[in-house]
């Protein structure tokens, strides 16, 4: 079932833009994984981080957007995936952006020491990653934002005020009625403070094109090379990751 097109309507331009954005996301491929911030490669490319609670559907959302089934790893034990995974994006051997899949947080079965360590790592990443261009916070609207979600919002708020793009993505929207979706979206727009909010359902493919366009336009706004016309052939903008 095709998802509804963005608010521009079913115009030829909107259809073409959504198709191009999805084709671009389909180029996503694994770049590297890091257990510590100092293990991340230094990049000049715009990087977009996906963050959220362990049960917010983050891996499913990434895989749905990339139209791949196993790009992002969904652990059978939530909270056990404790690495930052980077995925390169770009057509024809060029790389023009990177997606960062951050560890899920808030799962009760994870030892407290591990929770605290990863909260520090994520906070440091969100505050100090130089090429961070956007953050997508995934939230199950049936439960709303938790204290950890709100703490994360406070961490990134100064960067959002300085121009960092932010999207509050309400996953599993198919679990809500239309009235509940409208109410949840209205609340999320207030909570996003300086950012945007969207509904998303991997099952119904709701919001897929809208999010793809948001990601694509974010990268395109970072310069002429980001639209695919420039870029660097091969992995020229990426370090040798061995």
Mean pLDDT, each 10-residue run in order, the chain (242 residues): 47 91 96 92 96 90 95 60 89 92 77 77 93 97 92 93 96 97 97 95 96 97 53 36 35
Q: Which residues neighbour 153 within 8 Å (Cβ) at sequence distance 6 or greater?
A: 137, 145, 191, 193
What pLDDT score does 236 carry?
35
pLDDT of the residue at 224:
53
pLDDT given at position 6: 46
Fold (topology level) of 30-227: Rossmann fold (3.40.50)
Edge-first strand listing for the sheet containing 132-139: 29-34, 84-89, 97-101, 47-52, 132-139, 165-170, 196-199
- pLDDT reported for residue 193: 87
Write out the two tokens for 202.
Answer: 């991997």
Helices (H), 75-220: 112-128, 147-161, 178-191, 208-220
DSSP string of 163-192? T-EEEEEE--GGGS-HHHHHHHHHHHHHHT
Query: What's the Cα-to-Cα distance from 80 to each of 59, 77, 118, rounded to whole Å?
Result: 13, 6, 11
167: which 2 tokens?
Answer: 């999207």
Question: Do the strands 165-170 and 132-139 form a parallel or antiparallel pair, or are they unpaired?
Answer: parallel
- Ordered by start, the domain boundaries in the chain are 30-227
pLDDT of amino acid 235: 35
């Amino acid at each position: 079932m095709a998802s509804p097109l963005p608010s521009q309507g079913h115009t030829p331009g909107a259809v073409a833009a959504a198709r191009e954005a999805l084709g671009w996301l389909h180029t996503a491929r694994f770049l590297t994984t890091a257990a510590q911030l100092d293990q991340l490669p230094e990049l000049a490319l715009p990087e977009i981080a996906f963050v959220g609670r362990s049960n917010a559907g983050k891996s499913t959302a990434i895989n749905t957007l990339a139209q791949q089934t196993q790009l992002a790893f969904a652990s059978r034990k939530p909270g056990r995936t404790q690495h930052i995974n980077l995925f390169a994006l770009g057509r024809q051997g060029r790389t023009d952006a990177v997606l960062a899949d951050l560890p899920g947080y808030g799962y009760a079965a994870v030892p407290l020491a591990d929770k605290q360590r990863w909260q520090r790592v994520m906070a440091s990443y969100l505050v100090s990653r130089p090429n961070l261009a956007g953050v997508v916070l995934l939230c199950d609207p049936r439960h709303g934002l938790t204290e950890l979600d709100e703490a994360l919002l406070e961490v990134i708020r100064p960067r959002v005020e300085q121009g960092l793009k932010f999207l509050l993505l309400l996953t599993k929207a198919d679990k809500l009625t239309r009235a509940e979706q409208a109410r949840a979206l209205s609340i999320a727009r207030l909570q996003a403070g300086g950012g945007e909010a969207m509904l998303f359902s991997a099952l119904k493919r709701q919001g897929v094109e809208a999010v793809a366009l948001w990601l694509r336009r974010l990268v395109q706004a970072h310069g002429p090379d980001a639209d695919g016309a420039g870029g660097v052939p091969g992995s020229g903008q990426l370090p040798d990751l061995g």
